[in-house]
Amino acid sequence: MKISVIGGSGYVGGELLRLLLVHPNCDLEAVTSRSYAGEPLYRVHPNLRGGTTLRFQKHDIESVTSHSELVFMALPHGEAVEIVPQLLQRGLRVIDLTADYRLKDPAAYKEYYGFDHPHPELLEKAAYGLPELHRSAIKNSQLVSVPGCMATASILGLAPIITNGFVDPARIIIDAKIGSSGAGVSPTLATHHSERSAGVRPYKVTGHRHIAEVEQELGAVGKGNVQVSFTPHAVNMVRGVLTTSHAFTQSNVTDKDVWKAYRGQYGEEPFVRMVSDRKGLYGLPNPKVTVGTNFCDIGFEIDDHTGRLVVFAALDNLTKGAAGQAVQCYNIMTGWDEKTALNVMALHP
């Protein structure tokens, strides 16, 4: 299939190109960048040197898409909202890695992103690109909106226990840790190495944007309102997300009950691994062993003292949290084996 990538110079764009260039069923036609038009891809993404002779092109929608069948959008949030309708009108399929079409409620964009969504009619048509929950919708959709990285970990970790009614849906606390690549390629004081190194910095401790996605998706699987308290922390790693979710049981839930719930929902999923064996250094999820992969590792423990179910979910924010998940959606949309270009193990140590 002939593919274009609009906005390929960021970290997510680079990870997407790394995966698409080795995909046997993908013919990468064009990659755009406002800042690097005319430059070879390896000038920005040195890991791609020798893998392609492509150069970045300007953001000219007509020329970029004229020979494409499907387009990946890897622009900053807010910049895809007016481009996506143009692509859909041309009959192209779109996989959007921005937040511009993730939410079903137009009012949520005003609350969490500060703008009135100009195309609310497309929000219901967009498939939320989390294959473990929406595989059928993804396969049949013209527009797929890939979830946020911390939202992906939070939702995958909590969905089975919400579905089974194990915990109070109005009393869920999510503590998230994320690496510096989650802040994007443009440096700021907050992402400056000398400020970030050797520290743990809470930020946007209330009202984080991913709350909207998490409540939307968990509310759907739980068939009712779900309320989460969510606080992220910037930590001293480059790639990775770890969410620690605290939920409080509504009845006497056992380890066997929880294992059964996770196996029932994820037993056949190619990219969800249960990591909860209580032994060894990596007996619970750790993002270190997911780097470069499309895996989400999930584990849990029950705190009988307080009736608390603690759920851990770890993934690579650039792969399963963004580009890898987008390629997984691409495989589903086009009928390829879902693991194509994604069936790799992480490096260790």
* Annotated catalytic residue 296: no
Q: What whole-number distance in Å separates Cα of residue 345 and Cα of residue 181?
A: 20
CB 16 within 8 A of CB 3: no
Residue 274 identity? M
Neighbour-count burial of 183, counting CB atoms closer than 10 A to its CB (0-12 exposed, 13-18 middle, 19+ buried)? middle
Token output for 348: 């260790």
The three-state secondary structure class of 40 is strand
Token output for 82: 């007016």
Cα within 13 Å of Cα(171), Cβ side: 12
**Of 26, 149, 296, 329, catalytic:** 149
Q: Which residue has the tokens 């309320």?
A: 227
**103-106 LR contacts (CB < 8 Å, sep 24+):** 103/212, 103/213, 103/216, 104/216, 105/212, 105/216
CB 39 within 8 A of CB 95: no
Exposure letters 328-346 (e unless 16+ CB within 10 A, then b): bbbbbbeebebebbbeeee
Q: What whole-number distance in Å separates Cα of residue 267 and Cα of residue 260?
A: 9
Between vectors from CA 127 to CA 124 and to CA 130, what angle results, nearest 5°?
140
Catalytic site residues?
149
